[in-house]
Amino acid sequence: MAEKKKNPKTLLKVLGFVKRYLFFIFLSMLLAAASVAGTLYIPIVIGEAIDFIVGEGQVNFAAITPLLIRAAVVAGATALCQWLMSVINNRVVFHVVRDIRNTAFDRIQELPLSFLDRNPVGDIVSRVIADADQFADGLLMGFTQLFTGVMTIAGTLVFMLSINPWITLVVVVLTPVSLFVAKFIAKRTYNMFKLQSETRGEQTAFIDEMIGNQKVVKAFGREDEAIEKFDEINLRLEKAYLSATFFSSLVNPSTRFVNSLVYAGVGLTGAIAAISGGLSVGALSCFLSYANQYTKPFNEISGVITELQNALACAGRVFELIEEPAQVSDEGNKVLGGTDGDVSLHDVCFSYVPEKKLIENFNLTVTPGQRVAIVGPTGCGKTTVINLLMRFYDVTSGKICVEGEDIRELTRESLRSSYGMVLQETWLRSGTIRDNITMGKPDATDEEVIAASKAAHAHSFIKRLPDGYNTVIGEDGGSLSQGQKQLLCIARIMLCLPPMLILDEATSSIDTRTEIKIQDAFAKLMKGRTSFIVAHRLSTIRDADIILVMKDGNIIEQGNHTELLNKGGFYANLYNSQFAV
C-alpha cells in the first residue's frame, strides 16, 4: 500500500519540475495533434483512391494522381511535425532532468555530514547519475508516445464513427480488455524496478569502494573475496533485471493479442457490411487502417506505462535524496568578523548515535594565542572535538563559543573561514597545483603562492614537476606521494594565514627531516594564533600551552607537558610508552 501511495506522489513531484516548460509542452501537443490529423487523413485519401480502381483495365488514373500527390504532401508535413515534436520533447526532458540533477546536487551541498557518513558515496552517485538517466529515458518515451497515442485514439474514434458507428462499437467494446491487461501487469512491476534501481546503486557503491581502495585490497590479498562479493551483487542485480524485464515484456504481446482480436472483429463485421452493400471496399480499407492505428497506441501506451514504472522508481530515489533534511539554516545568523581566537566549550555533550554516548560535559576555555594539544587513545573523541569546533556537527547539548558568541548563531562560512585546517587525510581536487594551493584564497598572486609553498617546504618538489605550479593532478593528488599531498595542504594554510588553526596529525605522512622544518614553520605560524593540535606522536606537542588528555569522551588530565609528566598519570604512561628503551 505504501508503494501505491508513493507512486502518485512521485509523479506529482515530477510534474512540479515539468510545469516550468508548459509552453514547450503545449507546442509539442499542438504538433502531436497536427501529426495525428495528417496520419489519420492519409487513409481517407488512400480509400478514395481505391474506390477509383474498379477492376482490370478500369483504373481512373486522372482521379488517382491528385489523390496520391495530396497523400505525399500530407505525409511530408506529418513527418516534419513529428521531427519538431521529437526535438521539443528532447529539449523538455533533458532540461527537466538537468533541473532535478541541479536540485539534487545543491541539496548534497546542504546535507549534514551525518547523512554522508550513513550512506555509501557510490549509492549517492548512482542516484544523481544512473537513476536520473533512467528517469530521462522513461520521461522521453512518455512525452513522445503518450501525446500522440492519446490523440490518435481520440481521432480514430471520431473518424470511425463518421464511417460506420456499428463497427466502431465492436472496437470500443473490445478495447478495455487491452487496458486491463496492461494495468494488471504494470502495477506489479513498480517494486521490481525499484529493487533493480536499489541493487544497481549498491553495485555502484561497491565498485567505487573497491577502486578507491585497490591498494588495500591487493595488500591484503582480498581480490578473490572482492570478486565473490561483486559476483553476488551482480547476480542479485541480474535477477532483479530479469524479473522486471520479463514481467514488463509481457505487456506488449498481451495487448497485441487483444488488439489482433479487435482487428479480426473489424475485418469480419466490415466484410459482412461490404458484402451487404453497406460499405464500399475503399471505406473498408480505410476502416481497417483506422482499426490498426487505433490499437497501435494501446501497445505504445502500455509500453510507456511499464517504462514509467521504472522511471518513477528511479525518480523516487532521486527525490528521496532531494527531500533529505538539510542542515540547520544559518540564514540571518551573525557574521564572525575579526577574531582574536577566544574559544570556550560549556558542558558540551555529543554522540553520533543517540544510544551510544561519546562526549559528556566537556568544558574548556582557550585564551587568544594559546596552543591546545588534544591527545588520547583511538576513539576517545579527539577528532570529534575538531568536528564540533568547525561545526561539521552540532552539539547535542551545551554550547561552543567563539569570541563569546554561540557558534550556532554564527554563519558557517564566517566560522570556518576563521580556521585553517590540516588533516591527516588530505583532500585535493582535479586541477593544477596552483588551483589546489589557492583554494582558500583564489585571488592570491604568484609571489604569495610561492612564498606559502616555500614556508611549507613544498616549493622544491613542485619545481621538479613537469609544469611546476601549472602541473595538472588528478583526483586526490594522482601520482603524488602522501607526503607531497600533505605538504600542498599545509601550503594552502600558509597562504590563507587564518586567525585560528586546527592541525589533526598534520605531519603524519612527512619524513622526519621535513617534519622538523614544518614544525618550525608551524611554530612561527602559531605565534599569536589560537591553535588546536591533535597528535599521536607526543613529541610534537611538548611546547603546547595546554595538553588535554581525553579518554572515553572526557578530559581526564589537563596541563602542560612538564606538569603532566610530574603527575605520573595517564599522559605520563602514554609518553613513556612511546619513548621506552
Model confidence at 80, pLDDT cuts 50, 70, 90, reads very high
Same domain, 314 and 368: no
User: Among all chains, which residue has been given the C-alpha cell 522521453?
Assistant: 140
User: Among all chains, which residue has been given the C-alpha cell 593532478?
Assistant: 473
**CATH number where 354 lies:** 3.40.50.300
Mean pLDDT, residues 48-55 = 69
Q: Mind listing the pLDDT tens digit for each residue in 26-47?
A: 888 888 888 888 887 877 777 7
Given a contact cutoff of 8 angstroms between Cβ atoms, the answer to whether 248 and 226 are in contact is no
Give domain status of residue 336, yes or no: no
Count of the separate structural domains present in the chain = 2
Domain limits for position 307: 2-322
Determine the distance from the C-alpha atom of residue 528 to the mean position of all C-alpha atoms in its chain, rounded to a whole number: 43
Q: Mean pLDDT: which of 144-158, 245-259, 424-438 is highest? A: 424-438
Residue 8: the pLDDT is: 62
Q: What is the mean pLDDT of the chain?
A: 80
Name the strand (E) or helix (H) holding 473: strand 472-473
Given a contact cutoff of 8 angstroms between Cβ atoms, the answer to whether 39 and 122 are in contact is no
Mean pLDDT, residues 465-477 = 83
Model confidence at 241, pLDDT cuts 50, 70, 90, reads confident
* Domain final position from 322, 356, 374: 322
Q: Mind listing the pLDDT tens digit for each residue in 400-410?
A: 998 888 888 88
**CATH number where 180 lies:** 1.20.1560.10
Residue 3: the pLDDT is: 44
Same domain, 305 and 357: no
Same domain, 387 and 257: no
Give domain status of residue 513, yes or no: yes
Residues in CB range of 8: below 8 A, 6 or more apart? none
Tell me which of 87-91, 277-281, 466-470 is least confident.
Answer: 277-281
Give domain status of residue 333, yes or no: no
Model confidence at 4, pLDDT cuts 50, 70, 90, reads very low
Residue 7: the pLDDT is: 55
Give domain status of residue 283, yes or no: yes
* Domain final position from 288, 322, 356: 322
DSSP letters spanning 164-230: -HHHHHHHHHHHHHHHHHHHHHHHTTHHHHHHHHHHHHHHHHHHHHHHHTHHHHHHTT-HHHHHHHH
Q: Mind listing the pLDDT tens digit for each residue in 491-542?
A: 888 888 888 888 887 666 667 777 777 777 777 777 778 888 887 766 667 7
Question: Does residue 321 have a pLDDT over 80?
Answer: yes
Q: Mind listing the pLDDT tens digit for each residue in 95-115?
A: 888 888 888 888 888 888 778
Mean pLDDT, residues 150-155 = 78
Q: Which of the 8 DSSP states describes residue 344?
A: E
Give domain status of residue 335, yes or no: no
Residue 1: the pLDDT is: 39
Tell me which of 45-54, 358-367, 481-490 is least confident.
Answer: 45-54
| Cα–Cα distance for residue pair 202/205, rounded to 1 Å | 5
Instruction: Classify burial at 454, counting beta carbons within 10 Å of its beta carbon; exposed 0-12, middle 13-18, buried 19 or more.
Output: middle
| Cα–Cα distance for residue pair 379/376, rounded to 1 Å | 8
Q: Please give the share of the chain, as a percent, with pLDDT higher than 70.
A: 88
Grid cell in block for residue 223: 581480490
Residue 2: the pLDDT is: 42
Mean pLDDT, residues 72-95 = 88
Q: Angle at Cα 125 formed by Cα 14 and Cα 436, nearest 5°?
A: 125
Question: How far apart are the two ends of the chain, measured CA to CA in Å?
Answer: 69
Same domain, 317 and 363: no
Residue 56: the pLDDT is: 57
Give domain status of residue 194, yes or no: yes
Determine the distance from the C-alpha atom of residue 98 to the mean position of all C-alpha atoms in its chain, rounded to a whole number: 11
Tell me which of 88-97, 162-171, 332-341, 344-353 is least confident.
Answer: 162-171
Give domain status of residue 360, yes or no: yes
Question: Does residue 6 have a pLDDT over 60?
Answer: no
Same domain, 315 and 166: yes
* Domain final position from 291, 322, 353: 322
Question: Does residue 193 have a pLDDT over 90?
Answer: no
Mean pLDDT, residues 167-175 = 73
Same domain, 18 and 108: yes
Q: Of residues 16 and 182, which shows the higher confidence score?
A: 16
Mean pLDDT, residues 472-481 = 76
| Cα–Cα distance for residue pair 551/549, rounded to 1 Å | 7
Q: Of residues 580 and 222, which shows the higher confidence score?
A: 222
Mean pLDDT, residues 475-502 = 82
Same domain, 354 and 257: no
Same domain, 305 and 416: no
Model confidence at 5, pLDDT cuts 50, 70, 90, reads very low
| Cα–Cα distance for residue pair 534/554, rounded to 1 Å | 15
Q: Of residues 521 and 67, which shows the higher confidence score?
A: 67
Same domain, 308 and 398: no
Grid cell in block for residue 227: 570478486
Same domain, 409 and 470: yes
Model confidence at 129, pLDDT cuts 50, 70, 90, reads confident
Mean pLDDT, residues 462-470 = 89
Model confidence at 396, pLDDT cuts 50, 70, 90, reads confident
Q: Of residues 80 and 185, which shows the higher confidence score?
A: 80
Question: Does residue 488 have a pLDDT over 70?
Answer: yes
Same domain, 309 and 355: no
Model confidence at 333, pLDDT cuts 50, 70, 90, reads confident
Same domain, 349 and 268: no
Listed residue (85, 133, 581, 548) closest to 359, CA to CA: 548
Give domain status of residue 44, yes or no: yes
Mean pLDDT, residues 232-255 = 80
Phi-psi domain of 19 (left: phi exceeds 0; alpha: psi -120 through 50; beta: other): alpha
Model confidence at 581, pLDDT cuts 50, 70, 90, reads very low
